[in-house]
Amino acid sequence: MAAINPVVDLAMDGDIAILSVNHPPVNALSQQVRAGLLDGIRRAIGDAAVRAIVLICDGKTFIAGADITEFGKPPVAPSLAEVEDALEGSPRPVIAAIHGTALGGGLEVALCCHYRVAVPSARCGLPEVNLGLLPGAGGTQRLPRIVGVEQALDMVTSGKHVDAKAAHAAGLIDELVAEGDLRGGAIGFARRVVAEGRPLRRVRDLDDKVAAARGKPEIFEAFRKANAKKFRGFLAPEYNIRTIEAAVDKPFDEGLAIERKLFIELMQGTQSAAQRYVFFAERQVWKIPDVPDDTPAIPIRKVGVIGAGTMGGGIAMNFANIGMPVTIVETKQDALDRGLGVVRKNYERSTKSGRLTMAGVEQRMQLLTGTLALEQLADCDLVIEAVFENMDIKREVFGKLDRIVKPGAILATNTSALDINQIATAVQRPDAVIGLHFFSPANVMRLVEVVRAQHTSKPVIATSMQLARKLGKIAALVGVCPGFVGNRILYARSQQASAMLMEGAMPWDIDQAIYDFGLPMGPFAMSDLAGLDIGWSAEKSKSSIREVLCEQNRRGQKTGAGFYDYDEQRNPRPSPVTEKIVKDFAARSGQPQRTISQQEILERCLYAQINEGAKILEEKIAIRPSDIDIVWINGYGWPVYRGGPMFYADTVGLHEVVARLEDYGPRLGKDFAISPLLRQMAADGKRFQDLK
Ligand code: 3H9
């Protein structure tokens, strides 16, 4: 074997050259890989003994794409296009041998080979859209020429991975080879290509499948329309569509030039910068400086959930989904039956969309055992309490658990705001206590705030993080404070939203500004969805707009009215009733009324959030700014193309954020204070991204 460079080798197997990449962790196309591939292919072509070339990778995967860490930096030769030209232009057949994932630039390289073989477990995809990009190395022009326009559109705009079997059926993979023998299978395939004198099949020369869509712009219009909601606010999906249109309408090289131009435009924009930042943030969030990866984890084989309400049921579903038995405890049989009934209904709904079979539903339901006896939790490795948000009740539950549950088990609370340190004083083993704050609906929402209390042990933290990952969640480790990270920042926004009602804005004005910014809904629509009567009781005073709405049985979507009026399909309409209530309150407050601009609404809401985020960092409640962004993207629908509130602050400029907050001054409320950290960073010209 001849080393071309530290990451690429060239070897011979008889008359077949084996060009292999060994660049962990994912064989990304760094400069060294590109240079090695270019050199290797030239050498192989230059060797008269070589009859065919197999391109293969070491480690767990084929090339998983361009090296994202190089993006945004000046390009270094050779370019990927040069490598691709060398592969595609080779006078000897080149065969890509795929295992793991062939993604982005990796699949684009494979598409420049004359043939592709893969093991059945391999997957292919062009996930650039998830980085706010489009495939910039010919993928948008070659993919539709192989799989057709419809599938290409779906793949480039969703970033979805296609498994090898489906890729084979679509023509993307020419042959599936035995799972454990990719190299042997690929060499065998190469020998057959040579023996049969098969042509050098260049994908760029294929036309049938794109010709089928030529002169039919309606295909693209229908696709845009069908996905308008999903693509709202994102630039990349539309740019991807345009490149596929170019593949259909233009000659290959012209299409390639369009792809290049649009790729550069996206690469230089803020959306892609945000999405690339989120890619790394999603991976960083698992890293906890004082809890190393080798921290011993507690084996979790059986879980207990206390409370069969919306939260408890949703939490239990997560565990049943991964095949783990769950014991659900309720205090009354009818509540238990109702809770398990809702779980079954949720599962059955998934059968309608084809995500689950009826057998799958039964399998999951069998893993769920309902009981009224807390004692049944004795042998659980993890118990999650999801009862009413009341400190006394929670402490009582924990006191009992302490006496019942076996030593070494994790005792978790799903509280969304209460002081977990105080809950932990109810037990003799505070090191076992942790917060696992799932978001509603818990079987759907990706975020879990893992809340570290004062005495939580490192194995308990490590186990909780690993478990969240197993459940398919994204977990952020946060500290104890009212509302933790997510709800504390939400509260900062709500305060501004409520204050603006007193100054002349209507709930729908505020919601519209937040929606247009890219969130799925504004604060008032969100309250209506959650229910306005959470924590409300009829005996309470009528001191807030929310309470008056509840008095009038306007308790949110579930009662057909809240801040908004709702029709049968739950479509919201501005409500004259709410308008009157707001105006009455505003008049009583004595505050002068004015028209509040969309800009002011946004700045006050969002900059107050950023300010709260800075305080959270100051108090070390979050490990890093990007963890806060992960919380807000995954728990509250902050648009990923704006990178989370802290990243967004960087794009605005911290100096500007502070200056605007100062301008608003007393309007922000008497308790509002600008975070000293934010102020200092603004003065120093720093960004949150600099706070690694
Ligand atoms: C592209 O190709 C553009 C072209 O069209 C045009 C070019 C001109 N680069 O996810 P993991 C790191 S755009 C650099 O935990 P897994 C990652 O940060 C690219 N680094 O592993 C992590 O580092 P650390 C299109 C990368 O097994 C480590 O590798 N391709 C890259 O769960 C392990 O990653 C994509 O978008 C990269 N491309 O999943 C694919 N990829 O250990 C992106 C990963 O320090 N990658 N790293 O935290 C993935 O989807 C997953 O990493 C993959 C493996 C499925 C491959």
The pocket around ligand 1, CB under 6 angstroms, is made up of 25-26, 28, 61, 64-69, 80, 101, 103-105, 108, 127-128, 131, 135-137, 139, 280, 283
Are 441 and 562 within one domain? no
- Specify the residue with its C-alpha closest to ligand 1, atom 15: 283
Q: Which amino acid is at 71?
A: F
Residue 537 clears pLDDT 80, i.e. is over it: no
Task: Please give the Cα distance from 175 to 117 (Å, whole number).
Answer: 5
200: DSSP letter: -
Claim to verify: residue 129 and residue 229 sit in the same structural domain: yes
- Average pLDDT of the residues of the chain: 96
State the pairing for strand pair 564-566/572-574: antiparallel
Residue from 68, 85, 261, 279 whose mutation best tests the ligand 1 pocket (most atoms within 8 A of CB): 68
Choose which residue among 7, 21, 23, 26 to substitute to test ligand 1 binding: the one with the highest number of ligand atoms within 8 A of its C-beta: 26
Residue percentage of the chain with pLDDT more than 90? 96
Show the domain range for 531.
Answer: 504-589
Q: Which helix (H) or strand (E) holds 94?
A: strand 94-98
- Asked whether residue 136 falls in the same domain as residue 250, the answer is yes
- As a whole number of angstroms, the distance between CA 226 and CA 234 comes to 15
Count other Cβ atoms within 10 Å, centred on residue 521. Answer: 16
Cβ(135)–Cβ(108) under 8 Å? yes
pLDDT in tens, 486-536: 999 999 999 999 999 999 999 999 999 999 999 999 999 999 998 998 878
pLDDT-wise least confident of 73-77, 86-90, 613-617, 659-663:
73-77
- Ligand 1 atom closest to the Cα of residue 25 is 29
Same domain (yes/no): 233, 322: no
Task: State how far the Cα of 150 lies from the Cα of 168, in Å rounded to an integer.
Answer: 16
**Residue 451 within any structural domain of the chain:** yes
Average pLDDT over residues 632-639: 98
Name the domain boundary from 221, 239, 267: 267
Considering the domain boundaries, does residue 642 fall inside one?
Answer: no
Report the pLDDT value the prediction gives residue 645, as an integer from 0 to 100. 98
Query: What is the pLDDT at residue 583?
Result: 96
Q: Which range has the worst mean pLDDT, 9-18, 77-86, 586-595, 644-653?
A: 586-595
pTM for the whole thing? Answer: 0.95
Model confidence at 479, pLDDT cuts 50, 70, 90, reads: very high
* Tokens representing residue 681 in the block: 């960073």
- Both 184 and 234 in one domain: the answer is yes
In a domain, 686, yes or no: no
pLDDT of residue 535: 75
Residue 654, classed as helix, strand or coil, is helix
Distance of CA 449 to the CA centre of its chain: 14
Q: Would you say residue 90 lies in a domain?
A: yes
For 123-132, what is each residue's pLDDT tens digit? 999 999 999 9
Residue 569's CATH number? 1.10.1040.50
479 DSSP β-pair partners: 452
Residue 492: per-residue pLDDT: 97
- Active-site option among 84, 88, 108, 259: 108
Q: Catalytic: 375?
A: no
Q: Which residues contact 58 (CB under 8 A, 6 or more apart)?
A: 20, 21, 22, 27
Q: Are 35 and 108 part of one and the same domain?
A: yes
Residue whose Cα lies nearest atom 39 of ligand 1: it is 26
Average pLDDT over residues 165-184: 97
Per-residue pLDDT at 104: 98
Write the pLDDT tens digit of every residue in 183-210: 999 999 999 999 999 999 999 999 999 9
Structural domain contains residue 689? no
Q: How far is the CA of 685 from the centre of ligand 1 (A)?
A: 31
Alpha helices in 444-558 (DSSP H): 458-470, 486-503, 507-517, 523-530, 545-551
Calculate how far, in angstroms, residue 118's C-alpha sits from the geometric centre of ligand 1.
Answer: 20
pLDDT of residue 96: 98
DSSP 250-283: S-HHHHHHHHHHHHHHHHHSHHHHHHHHHHHHHH
Size of the chain, expressed as the number of residues it contains: 692
Query: Quick one: which atom of ligand 1 is closest to the CA of 68?
Result: 9
Which residue has tokens 């605005």?
Answer: 652
> Which CATH number is 159's domain given?
3.90.226.10
> Using one digit for the tens of pLDDT, what is the confidence trace for 309-346?
999 999 999 999 999 999 999 999 999 999 999 999 99
Instruction: Please report whether residue 662 resides in a domain.
Output: no
What gap in Å lies between CA 578 and CA 586, rounded to an integer? 12
Residue identifier of the C-alpha nearest atom 4 of ligand 1: 105
Q: How far is CA 232 from CA 517, 599, 641, 647, in A?
A: 10, 20, 11, 20
Q: By alpha-carbon position, which residue is closest to atom 6 of ligand 1? A: 136
Answer yes or no: do 117 and 166 share one domain: yes
The arithmetic mean of pLDDT across residues 338-366, rounded, is 95
Burial of 518 from C-beta contacts in 10 A (0-12 / 13-18 / 19+): middle
Compute, in angstroms, the gap from residue 158 CA to the centroid of ligand 1. Answer: 17
Dmax (CA) of the chain: 92
Cα of 125 to ligand 1 centre, how many Å? Answer: 12
Return the number of other C-beta atoms located less than 10 Å from residue 46's C-beta. 8
Shared domain for 344 and 402, answered yes or no, is: yes
What is the structure's pLDDT at 197? 96
Cα–Cα distance for residue pair 236/233, rounded to 1 Å: 9
Q: Which atom of ligand 1 is nearest to the CA of 135?
A: 5
Inform me whether the pLDDT recorded for 682 exceeds 70: yes
Count of beta carbons in the 10 Å neighbourhood of residue 197: 6
Of the three residues 558, 589, 620, the one that is the final residue of a domain is 589
Residues 512, 438 share a domain: no
Q: What pLDDT score was predicted for residue 72?
A: 85
Residue 1: predicted pLDDT? 62
Q: Which of 267, 293, 327 is the last residue of a domain?
A: 267
Alpha carbons 239 and 224: distance in angstroms, whole number = 11
Same structural domain, 47 and 169 = yes
Residue 153 lies in a domain: yes
Are 242 and 356 within one domain?
no
In tens, the pLDDT along 178-189 reads: 999 999 999 999
Helices 654-664, 645-652: axis angle to 10 degrees equals 90
Residue 539 pLDDT greater than 80, yes or no: no
Helix (H, G, I), strand (E, B) or coil at 562: coil
DSSP state of 518: T
How many beta carbons lie within 10 A of that of residue 689, not counting itself?
Answer: 16
Q: Is 108 a catalytic residue?
A: yes
Q: What pLDDT does 534 receive? A: 80
Q: What string of DSSP letters covers 324-384?
A: --EEEE-SSHHHHHHHHHHHHHHHHHHHHTTSS-HHHHHHHHHHEEEES-GGGGTT-SEEE
* In-domain check, residue 627: no
Domain co-membership, 478 together with 509: no
Number of domains in the chain: 3
CATH of the domain at 308: 3.40.50.720
